C-alpha cells in the first residue's frame, strides 16, 4: 500500500489521468466541514463514494457509473485513514491494480488556502441527519443563526405517512396545501400566505423539509404520488422559495438518511404554532415560477431553454405518465432532461441511497444536452414535481436564472392551440444524466 504526500498527489494529478475517490460522507464532499477542518469541500475532480455505500450489495455498480476503470490509477482519501485503507482493500479485491492513498487531506489540503477545494455553492441548504439532530436537541448546528425554525414532513394527501413515523418535532405538510388540486400549479399568493402562516412559517423562518421515499408502481396504484413523499418535499421547497421563504434546508436523502443514521422516529404529533404575518409580499421570488406565455418566450429565445424532466417513454409520446392526463407527446423545442423510469421516480438525479447525485455529474450531463447556466433554464414535467427537483438541483448549484414551468405538460396539452410532437426527435438528446 503506497501513501502519497501532498506534493506527490499534486504531481500525480498533473501528470497522469488518476482518479480521486472521496470516501467521506456526501455532506463533507458538498462542503460541510464535518471534522472541523479549516475549509469544507473536496479536491477538484474527486468522485464521491462514501464508505457507507460499500455496505450495499450493488455499490460496485457505482464505480462503473462514475467511469472509474480498473486500468487507470486511483487515489483514495477521506477523514479516516482506516476507512481509506478499507476502500483500498476493496478496490484491490475488485481487480484495481494501481491504487494509492492520500492521508493528509484535513491537515495539509483543507488547511492550506492556496490549494483548491470545490463546493456545492449552496451546500448549506442541503443538510444531513446530524445537523437536524443537533437542531432538535437544542444545540447550534453549523451555519445556523436563527431562533425560528419549522421542520416539515411532506406528504401528498396521505397523513398516514406522517403518523407511521416522522422526525421528532416535525409537522405534516400536505402538498395539496401549496398546489391546486385542479391545475396542480402553485396556489394563489393569498392561499400560499394562509397556508404558510398556519404552518408557523414567516419569510425569515428556517424551514427544514423532507419526505419518505418509496417505490410506487404506476400500474398498481391509483394515486402513485402518495408514495413519492420526498419528491413532493422538493416540490414544496420550490414553492416556498417562490413564496419568499429565505432559508430552506432540505434533508439530503429524506427520511431514509435519518433512519440509516440510526436515529429514532416518533408517532407523537407535533402541531404548528400559527403566525399572524408572513412578513413580506408573496411571491418574494416570482422569477422561480413561470407560466405558459413565458415558456413560449423561452422556446423562441436563444438565451433560454425549456427542459423536460420526464421519462423517455413520455418524451416520445408512448405514454402520458399520469392516470389523469390522456394526451401523449412533448412540447416542441423542449430539451430532454431524463428524470428516470416514470413520473414518480428520479433515478437519474439521485444516488441509490436517495441522496442527490454528485452535482458535477448532473451539470456535466446537462451541458452535453445544451443546458448551461448562462441561459434562463426552466424545468418542467407533467405537473411540477420532477421539474421542481431538477430546479432545486440547479438552485443548489447557484445557477443564476432558473425556474419551474409550473403548468408543464398538463397545462400545455390541455390547450388545443398548443403544438405537440411525438416520436423520437431528429436532434441528439440527453439519454443519461
Residue linked to cell 391509483: 222
| Residue partners of 41: CB distance under 8 A and separation at least 6 | 29, 30, 31, 110, 117, 118, 119
| Least reliable range by pLDDT among 15-24, 35-44, 306-315, 339-348 | 339-348
Query: Average pLDDT of the chain?
Result: 94
Average pLDDT over residues 380-397: 97
Average pLDDT over residues 306-316: 95
Instruction: Give the C-alpha separation, 174 to 187, whole Å.
Output: 13
Say if CB 412 and CB 292 are below 8 A apart. yes
Task: Assess whether 381 carries a catalytic annotation.
Answer: yes
Say if CB 2 and CB 101 are below 8 A apart. yes
Average pLDDT over residues 386-395: 97
Ramachandran region of residue 35, left (φ > 0), alpha (ψ -120 to 50) or beta?
Answer: alpha
Q: Is the pLDDT of residue 246 over 90?
A: yes
HSE (side-chain half, CA atoms, 13 Å) at 424: 6
Q: What is the pTM of this model?
A: 0.95
pLDDT band for 220, please (50, 70, 90 cuts).
low
3-state secondary structure at position 153: strand
3-state secondary structure at position 402: strand
pLDDT band for 344, please (50, 70, 90 cuts).
confident
Say if CB 343 and CB 218 are below 8 A apart. yes
Residue 162 DSSP code: H
* Segment 318-337, tens digit of pLDDT: 998 888 899 999 999 999 99
Q: Is the pLDDT of residue 353 over 70?
A: yes
Which class is 287-413 in CATH?
A: alpha beta
Residue 215: phi and psi, rounded to 5, are -115, 85
* Strand 99-102 with 74-77, pairing: parallel
pLDDT at res. 429: 56
Say if CB 310 and CB 381 are below 8 A apart. yes
Average pLDDT over residues 180-209: 97
Spatial CA neighbour of 324 closest among 416, 408, 236: 408
Q: Is the pLDDT of residue 221 over 80?
A: no
High-pLDDT (> 70) share of the chain, %: 95
pLDDT at res. 229: 81
Active-site hit among 236, 339, 381, 413: 381
pLDDT at res. 345: 81
Instruction: Give the H/E segment covering residue 208.
Output: strand 206-210
pLDDT at res. 225: 62
Q: Is the pLDDT of residue 386 over 70?
A: yes
Domain ranges in the chain with CATH number 3.40.250.10: 2-119, 124-284, 287-413
Q: Is the pLDDT of residue 430 over 90?
A: no
pLDDT band for 428, please (50, 70, 90 cuts).
low
pLDDT band for 409, please (50, 70, 90 cuts).
very high
Instruction: Give the C-alpha separation, 334 to 425, whole Å.
Output: 10
Domain 124-284: give its CATH superfamily.
Answer: Rhodanese-like domain (3.40.250.10)
Instruction: Give the C-alpha separation, 138 to 132, whole Å.
Output: 10
Q: Is the pLDDT of residue 1 over 70?
A: yes
Instruction: Give the C-alpha separation, 143 to 119, whole Å.
Output: 15
2-119 is classed in which CATH architecture?
3-Layer(aba) Sandwich (3.40)
Instruction: Give the C-alpha separation, 227 to 216, whole Å.
Output: 6
Amino acid at each position: 500500500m503506497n501513501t502519497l504526500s501532498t506534493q506527490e498527489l499534486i504531481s500525480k494529478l498533473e501528470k497522469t489521468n488518476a482518479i480521486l475517490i472521496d470516501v467521506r460522507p456526501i455532506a463533507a464532499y458538498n462542503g460541510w466541514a464535518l471534522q472541523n477542518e479549516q475549509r469544507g469541500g473536496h479536491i477538484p475532480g474527486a468522485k464521491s463514494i462514501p464508505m457507507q455505500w460499500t455496505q450495499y450489495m450493488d455499490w460496485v455498480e457505482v464505480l462503473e457509473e462514475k467511469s472509474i476503470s480498473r486500468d487507470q490509477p486511483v487515489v483514495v482519501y477521506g477523514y479516516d485513514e482506516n476507512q481509506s485503507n478499507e476502500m483500498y482493500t476493496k478496490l484491490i479485491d475488485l481487480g484495481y491494480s494501481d491504487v494509492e492513498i492520500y492521508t493528509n487531506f484535513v491537515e495539509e489540503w483543507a488547511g492550506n488556502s492556496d490549494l483548491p477545494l470545490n463546493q456545492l455553492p449552496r451546500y448549506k441548504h442541503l443538510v444531513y441527519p446530524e445537523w437536524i439532530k443537533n437542531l432538535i436537541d437544542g444545540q447550534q448546528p453549523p451555519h445556523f443563526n436563527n431562533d425560528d425554525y419549522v421542520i416539515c414532513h411532506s406528504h401528498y394527501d396521505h397523513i398516514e405517512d406522517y403518523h407511521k413515523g416522522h422526525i421528532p418535532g416535525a409537522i405534516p405538510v400536505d402538498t395539496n396545501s401549496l398546489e391546486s388540486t385542479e391545475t396542480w400549479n402553485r396556489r394563489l399568493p393569498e392561499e400560499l400566505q394562509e397556508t404558510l402562516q398556519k404552518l408557523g412559517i414567516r419569510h425569515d423562518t428556517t424551514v427544514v423539509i423532507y419526505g419518505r421515499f418509496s417505490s410506487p408502481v404506476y400500474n398498481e396504484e391509483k394515486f402513485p404520488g402518495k408514495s413519492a413523499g420526498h419528491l413532493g418535499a422538493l416540490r414544496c421547497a420550490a414553492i416556498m422559495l417562490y413564496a419568499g421563504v429565505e432559508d430552506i434546508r432540505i434533508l439530503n436523502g429524506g427520511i431514509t438518511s435519518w433512519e440509516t443514521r440510526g436515529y429514532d422516529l416518533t408517532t407523537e404529533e407535533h402541531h404548528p404554532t400559527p403566525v399572524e404575518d408572513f412578513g413580506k409580499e408573496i411571491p418574494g421570488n416570482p422569477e422561480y415560477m413561470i407560466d405558459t406565455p413565458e415558456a413560449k418566450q423561452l422556446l423562441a429565445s436563444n438565451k433560454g431553454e425549456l427542459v423536460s424532466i420526464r421519462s423517455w417513454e413520455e418524451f416520445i409520446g408512448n405514454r402520458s405518465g399520469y392516470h389523469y392526463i390522456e394526451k401523449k407527446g412533448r412540447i416542441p423545442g423542449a430539451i430532454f432532461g431524463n428524470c428516470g423510469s416514470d413520473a414518480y421516480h428520479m433515478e437519474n438525479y439521485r444516488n441509490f441511497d436517495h441522496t442527490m447525485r454528485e452535482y458535477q455529474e448532473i451539470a456535466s450531463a446537462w451541458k452535453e444536452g445544451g443546458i448551461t447556466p448562462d441561459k434562463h433554464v426552466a424545468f418542467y414535467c407533467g405537473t411540477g414535481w420532477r421539474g421542481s427537483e431538477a430546479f432545486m438541483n440547479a438552485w443548489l448549484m447557484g445557477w443564476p436564472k432558473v425556474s419551474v414551468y409550473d403548468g408543464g405538460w398538463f397545462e400545455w396539452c390541455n390547450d388545443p392551440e398548443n403544438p405537440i410532437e411525438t416520436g423520437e426527435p431528429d436532434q441528439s438528446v440527453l439519454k443519461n444524466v
